[in-house]
Structure 1
Amino acid sequence: MITGGRSFVSSPPAFSNDAKRLLVCTGNTVSVFSTSTGLQTGELEGHGAQVTSVIVVPASTPASKVLCYCWTASLDGTIKYWDFAAPELMRTIHIRFPIHSMVIPSISSERVESNGKYPDLFAYVYIEGGKQKEEQPHSSVGQIWKCNLTKSRLVGGVTLAKTERPGSITISPSGKYIGIYEKRKLLIWEIPGKDSEHHGYKKIRLHHTKPFTVMAFHPTEKVVAAGDVTGRILIWRGVGRRTFSNEINGGVNMDAEDRPGVRDNDDADSCSTWHWHSAQVNVLFFSSDGSYLYSGGREGVLVVWQLDSGKKKFLPRIGAPLLYFVCSPDPSLSSISSADNRIQLLRMPSMEILKSISGIKLPSSHMEIYEGFGSGVVLNHTTGLIAVPTENYRVQFYSLFDDREISEVQICERNHQPGDEITVKVNLVAFSSDGSTMSTVETRLPEEGIGSLFSLKFWACGLQSKHFSLSTVIYEPHRESGISCIAFRPTGHMAVSSSYGGDFKVWIHRHEIPTKDLTLQNNGWTCHAVGSYKKKPMTAAAFSSDGSVLAVAAEKVITLWDPDRNILLTVVGDSLEPITTLSFVGKTEYIVSASRGSNPQLTMWSMSKLCKIWSYRLDAEAVACSMDNSTFAVLALSRLSKSMEPAETTLQDAEGVILLFNVENPVPLSTWIVSKAQGGGLSFVRSNPRLEDEVEPKTPDEVLAYVNGAHEYVLFNPYGGQAGKVSIPHRRNFSVSDETERFGYTSIYGELPEFNLKIDQTPFPSMPSEETWKSIFSGPSHSLPPLPKLCSDFLESLLERRSAAVE
């Protein structure tokens, strides 16, 4: 079984001590990426639920930078200690409650006590547990507990806070303070210098008129920053001076004039407000020297504030709302996570983007699912790629076998900023059988009820570059009606588009033809034929395996056509609801249709007998047919799958089920229960040649790919013999990390260029040519070799060599 497509931005990542690796929470695992290549080099597997926190044990000395240990916390209620270089699980601590956040204040201190032992290490965890309210039985209660990591147990009787729901804990860079935000207040605790199991905690509160969304601590001063839902940033100075410092006048209330901007009796000297963001602030982070504050939100712009003056500079056009900003031990490297499931590595302080770690684009709440069948995610059965339409008018191509982004295609040349109203939607994406041609349908949404526009585009894939280039644009291909389906003929360059307006069109590709004046006629796609049936909406279309028959669904009936001559051959049956998908099963003469609505139906039709073979009342979310065999798979939603009596009890508790059928047998061959079926996709995919060499010799020719509504996917063998049992193991091909240490010159400027100085092999070497020295000294100064390397050779080249006379 191969899984992938997980979210890279569910929690903040963490850098290794040498900044060469980035640890990313990805579902139930932690993925290790190389910061130099952006490729995955390892994985930590062992948690049974989503990992919510990863904390790298910092290096106490320069020599200990090679240490590769980390702590992780998960919703499975466990804390684990890892050697992520091996990788190896060292220890597991059971909390028994889901952990939403964890911090370890004293992790960097290695003070030795008088008895020669290291003090105990403590963690503070934000767990989901406690008694639920009777009036809200499904609500979750958040609590902050203390855990002794050294003794692998909770500290009894220590509960720092109880909140309505669990959240995240923020820790100061020094580890002296921790804090949380709940609605309109901040709660901050001081961690004693010598943390133990028996002492009290000092706590202060800071108040605001709007709900908080993020907070941050200054690295050296008593300054706290917080962002709210309106886009404002509040900065308190002198925080906790009375409570934490034990000053003599600590209990005396100061006048409001002496504490500008501070509300009520909050323990702070002053409070100032900055406002640039138009929506809630998601990112707040102080620079390591405390001179700058980084902020970000829905606009997709990283703002750098100068703390003393309030001046700003920007890193614009990141392309998606920002979620996390993390600094590395190397001050020249940072990372920023965005809502489009992308982590970008930045060179600081110039904020130049060095590398991107991209997962599958996550479903957008702003993009409504287009009328018709499926969620818009398209799987290519030949190449093992999936195409994901995104809200920034692009299509992302993602490799299922490699679990990484391959490329992106800009479908519509329009400026897009996160948070803008969606003005164009990429409704449909379709591929030819060999993957050389792509077709897309985009809709320009009307403004105030007018101005809608449908566009059909054909794209050609280059043989060398493997990137798609625009070939043909057709505006309003079906007048003002939307396109319900696009299907390519398996043989030859032909495609069909069906329309809700009551017709379908057959398109053919016109190749370049040399004319008399030796010019090439523009190649492109042109309309070959137009067909309709009783002016009924055409809701789906499919070609047979040999391309000789075209099946088009005319609302509730199936019409069969000769695509070359555009002749109606026959009409088959009648369904209860409009048909949303049609598929020929492999190389057989059977067609499977699915309809959705109040009376959903999955039906098998025989083209030779022109009749229905069998049918089920299933709400089919997706249908996938084998390319060679007489089998097909159906992804059905569980709310109506309970009509199948043998699995009624089980399916009621699941979100969906995958059923594997043979065309002539209505009894499923295998059944798999899946989650997040709403908006999911299904397809048979050719096995990757790597699997045949690295797995077992009996790897099937095709595997079944399931992509759920959250764009997570799994590849498995559907012919394994038992439901839920697959023969392809979870295997990943990780890249080799470059662990070469860099010192001195190379750590600043990189490797020196290689110079090939050709010297004549004569008894007395001649001086290098002027052109050679000219090329050495040309270029930017930071790329030049150091002076000691060139000085001796350069000075020697200026001296004239003479042969000494021997007397």
Structure 2
Amino acid sequence: MITGGNNFVSSAPVFSNDAKKLLVCTGNTVSIFSTDTGMLVTELEGHTDLVTSVVVVPVAANARKFMCYCWTSSRDSTICYWDFAAPELVKKIKVQLPIVSMVIPHISSLSADSSEKLSNLYAFVSVEDINKPADQRKALRGQIQIYNLTNSRRVGGLLAETRRPELISMSSSGEFIGIKNKQKIYTWRIPTKEFKYDDIRRIKLHHTKKFNTLAFHPSERIIAGGDVTGRILIWRGFGKRNLSETSRKLSAGRTNNEEGNPGVRGNDDADSCSTWHWHPEAVHILFFSSDGAYLYSGGKEGVLVVWQLDTGKKRFKPRLGSPLLYYTHSPDPSLSCISCADNSIHLIKMPSMAIVKSIGGIKLPFSFPDMHKRPSSDFAFDYSSGLVALRTSDHCIQFFSLFENFEVSQVQVCERNFQPVDDPMVFVALMSLSGDGSMMSTVEVRLPEEGLGDLITLKFWARGSRVGEYNLVTVIYEPHSYAEVSALAFRSGYRMAVSTSLGGEFKVWLYYSDKQKDHQKSGWRCQSVGSYKKMPMTAAAFSADGSVLAVAAETVVTLWDPDKNALVAVIGDTFTPITTISFAGKSDYIVTLSQGSNPQLAVWDLSNLSIVWSYKLRAEAVACTEDLSQFAVLVLPEVPNGPATGDQNGIILLFDVKKPVPLATWMVKKAKKGSLAFMPPDTSRQHTDVEDADGSGIPLLVYINARIGYTSIYGELPEFDSKKDEIQEIPFVPSERPWETIFSGSSHVLPPLTKLCSAFLSSLLEKRHTTLE
């Protein structure tokens, strides 16, 4: 079994010492990518649960070559030491609780090839106490513990206890570590020599809002904290009193009311505190430049902000296209990387901040309003190239290699910039690929605003010179006269496609090319229109040889000659409307799925127009082999007290069309809205060398689950929900002169023009109060 589609952004990645490799936490493994090509080099396999941290061992200044050693932590309660050049597991340390975060202070003073005994190498880990009840509101499930990595033993007591495990931040020198805890920041100074637990002192810094992230200055006692409202607080000279016993006694009773501590709250140990505010929502990224002159910040709006530390002036790196999660420095000062919430890592050239390479995983789909009422297709397959096409949240179609496990390309269907504060009004609803991947069709829907402006657009695309590259050929507005498009399908071996609508018709589209004197005119046009008793058309498919077109008219299947647009036969009747039709290879059988109150899986024989067998099963998807008379179906178990949920597991059943007894079964996770496909074997790989009786390769069955399944296996991506932060918002009071401020503010956070325009025009009208007599 081959698995793929990993989450690349569950934790922050780390560069190797020569900056030529990037170590990324991907589920239970650590994937190592080349920073030159963006391709996967090797993997570290040994953990049994989610890997949460990677710490690369630095190289000594006098080392003759770069060493490739690292420490990793995992939720499987282990710390591992690796030679990632081999790759080889060198040492494993057992910890009693799942590890959420790990740092190793002063590791830069020791090297893997040093003859010095690593007696001063200690790991500070943030663990989750799973022995305490998770549903208890005040249970302290987060702990900060210390482990000696040399003798594999825990040292001292607990540095801190929190309601939930917190990520540990560390200064570049390793002198300070810190965590956020609600409205407070805890920092500790770590002794460099003769490590003693009692010598570690804690410093508290307070705020009125919850913190979301923090960062240490590389050379000065400056710490920055970002809160959930978008504010950035900067403390200068922190820890001077608490870290000095004499100074602590002399400053007893000192408060922030003194003129020498502007902005400092209570008795916090800092010289001053200043506040910057640009981000409209929570700050997720904070880091200082290597020289300490600049502070970088980022959040949901997908913009990297560069602050000049001395003056507070800022500049921007916009259009990163997704909320920002992590920033990672590189040993090469001209290279760094940013991890984004769309499951991509961008390698950035500094200081220009230009993206030089991207490492992309499977992106999350777009969940548009009332999805359960709208026809949609989340996946399509390019069988000739081994690619899966996915609808993404940024109005793109992403092409992902199933065998190589990386993003091949993206096709921008709707030309729209990333707007985090904008309610999505346009989305890609349907997509379809021809069997050979040479053609693609998409349907995009524009939702009405205040009952006006809705639009359905059908687009046809042709593949370019490279795999996964598509060029727009034809745009058709309202292809079914304002009725929603329910299905798309291509005819194998022909430049022909069909679209069905809930308005009671289907249309056959044909590609034409007309050579004229001065130019050549080409595109897609409607060849014919068909209907059956004005019933809504809910699904469609062409036979393997393209001679038969099957269209579902609610509970019956109509069979058509696609060239003559002539009705050949009608078969049915099912209990509920048919949602999927598939021809079983080159045989005379079709498979249908019906959903609703009486779901049904049915197999029909076209030779005698009768049903062969059926089951009352709640199925999500069906896939048929190209040459064999076999098919696989993804089934959800019945839920006694309600509809199926996204976190529900399922079963894949493999059938022969003539026999109702399954040939094989597989249990799968998170089956809701999943999909199946039979792909031809990849002959370049050893695992596909299996052949059947006639010497041909056995097809591979591909299962891909939806967003919830993807996040549940590899760790959930952070949710940007301001309601969870329990922020008490100030009520909005409309201005008496809104036209003076309605267009003010940063372009990154302005609402769309359609909303601005109506508010602007309303502000110009004079309102009068009248009473009716």
Normalization by structure 1: what TM-score? Answer: 0.82
Q: How does 1:18-97 map to 2 (within 5 A)?
A: 18-63=18-63, 66-97=66-97
Residue 598 and residue 189 in structure 1: after superposition, are their counterparts in 2 closer, same or farther (change >3 A)?
A: farther
Contact 2:383 2:436 in 1 (8 A): no
Give secondary structure in 2 for the equivalent of 1:226: strand
The structural deviation recorded for 1:590 is 1.3
2:650 paired with 1:656: yes
SS at 1:66's partner residue? coil
Q: Within 5 Å, which residues of 2 pair with 1:771-790?
A: none
Distance, in Å, in 1 between the alignment partners of 2:252 and 2:187 is 18
Q: Give the match for residue 733 of structure 2.
A: none
2:295 and 2:689 mapped to 1: Cα distance?
50
Alignment of 1:54-203 (within 5 A): 54-63=54-63, 66-110=66-110, 117-133=117-133, 136=136, 141-155=141-155, 157-194=156-193, 196=195, 198-199=197-198, 201-203=200-202
SS in 1 for 2:685: helix
Identity of aligned residues (%): 55
> Which residue is 2:661 aligned to?
667
SS in 1 for 2:500: strand
Determine if contact 2:651/2:666 at 8 Å carries over to the other structure: yes
AA aligned to 2:561 is D
CA RMSD in angstroms, aligned pairs only: 2.7
SS of 2:677's partner is strand
Task: For residue 375 of structure 1, report the CA deviation from its aligned partner.
Answer: 5.1
Asked which structure has the greater CA Rg, the reply is 1
Secondary structure at 1:108 match in 2:
helix
Cα gap change, 1:502 to 1:180, in 2 (>3 Å):
same
Residues 241 and 449 of structure 1: CA distance in aligned 2, closer, same or farther (over 3 Å)? farther
Residue 256 of structure 1: SS of its match in structure 2? coil
Report if aligned partners of 1:375, 1:679 keep a CA contact under 8 Å in 2.
no
Q: What letter is aligned with 2:382?
A: N
Q: Helix, strand or coil for the counterpart of 1:397?
A: strand
| Distance verdict in 2 for CA 1:235–1:198, change over 3 Å | closer
Residue 417 of structure 1: CA displacement? 3.2
Alpha-carbon separation, structure 2, partners of 1:693 and 1:170: 42
Question: 1-side partners of 2:111 and 2:658: how far apart?
Answer: 74
SS of equivalent residue, structure 1 residue 513: strand
TM-fit CA distance, 1:153: 2.8
CA–CA distance in 2 between the matches of 1:111 and 1:128? Answer: 30
Whether the 8 Å contact between 1:6 and 1:712 is mirrored in structure 2 is no
- 3-state DSSP class of the match of 2:428? strand
Question: Do 2:365 and 2:391's aligned partners in 1 also have CA atoms closer than 8 Å?
Answer: no
Contact 1:394/1:408 (<8 A) preserved = yes
Q: Give the TM-score normalised by structure 2.
A: 0.86
Checking the alignment, whether the CA contact within 8 Å between 2:365 and 2:390 is kept in structure 1 is: no
Shift in Å, 1:46: 1.3
Distance across 1 between alignment mates of 2:159 and 2:98:
17
CA displacement at 1:198 relative to structure 2: 4.6
The amino acid across from 1:607 in the alignment is L
* Distance in structure 1 (CA, Å) of the matches to 2:28 and 2:707: 15
The residue aligned with 1:554 is 553
Of stretches 308-317 and 409-418 in structure 1, the one that deviates more from structure 2 is 409-418
Rounded to whole Å, the distance in 2 between the matches of 1:602 and 1:26 is 37
Compare relative contact order (CA 8 Å, sep 6+) and give the higher one, 1 or 2.
1
Give the drift of 1:438: 0.5
2:515 aligns to what? Answer: 514
| Superposition deviation, residue 24 in structure 1 | 0.8
Amino acid at match of 2:655: F
Relative distance call for 1:681 and 1:704 in structure 2 (3 A) is: same
Q: Is 311-320 or 130-139 further displaced after alignment?
A: 130-139
Identify which of 405, 408, 411 aligns with 2:407.
405
Gap runs ≥5 in structure 1: 644-650, 714-807
Amino acid at match of 2:656: N
Task: Tell whether the 8 Å contact from 1:580 to 1:593 is kept in structure 2 after alignment.
Answer: yes
Q: Could you list the per-position Cα deviations for residues 386-424 of structure 1 after superposition, in whole angstroms to 9, with x for gaps in the alignment?
A: 112222222111111121222221212233334432221
The residue that corresponds to 1:301 in the other structure is 303
**2:588, 2:638 → 1: CA distance?**
31
Give runs of aligned pairs for residues 743-782 of structure 1, distance below 5 A. none
Q: Deviations over 1:198-242 (max 9, x none)?
A: 525321222222211111111121111111111111111121221
Q: Does 1:707 align with 2:701?
A: no
Residue 588 of structure 1: CA displacement?
A: 1.2
Select which of 673, 677, 680 maps to 1:686: 680
Aligned AA (1:338): C
Alpha-carbon separation, structure 1, partners of 2:88 and 2:44 = 8
Equivalent residue in structure 2 for 1:332, among 334, 338, 349: 334
Q: Is the 8 A contact 1:618 1:640 kept in 2?
A: no
1: CA distance, partners of 2:637 / 2:92: 36
Matched, 1:249 2:267: no
Q: Distance in 1 between matches of 2:123 and 2:418?
A: 43
Alignment of 1:416-435 (within 5 A): 416-435=418-437
Deviations 1:281-315 (A, max 9, x none): 11000111211101011111111111010011211
Structure 1 residue 606 corresponds to structure 2 residue 605: yes
Q: Using the alignment, how far apart are the partners of 2:425 and 2:194 within structure 1?
A: 55
Secondary structure, in 3 states, of the residue corresponding to 1:282? Answer: strand
Deviations 1:542-568 (A, max 9, x none): 111121211111112212222122222
The one-letter code of the counterpart of 1:627 is E
Q: Please name the residue that 1:596 is paired with.
A: 595
Does the aligned pair in 2 maintain the 1:298–1:419 contact within 8 Å?
Answer: no
Q: Which of these residues, 291, 294, 309, is aligned with residue 292 of structure 1?
A: 294
* 8 Å CA contact retained: 1:373, 1:622: no
1:381 offset after TM fit, Å?
2.2
SS in 1 for 2:419: coil
Does structure 1 retain, via aligned residues, the 8 Å contact 2:670–2:708? no
1:535 alignment partner AA: K
SS at match of 2:568: strand
Q: Flag the 1:419–1:2 CA change in 2: closer, same or farther, 3 A.
A: farther
Q: List runs of 5+ in structure 2 lacking aligned partners.
A: 711-773
Distance 2:138 2:374 in 1: 34
CA distance in 2, matches of 1:700, 1:127: 48
Match of residue 635 from structure 2: 636
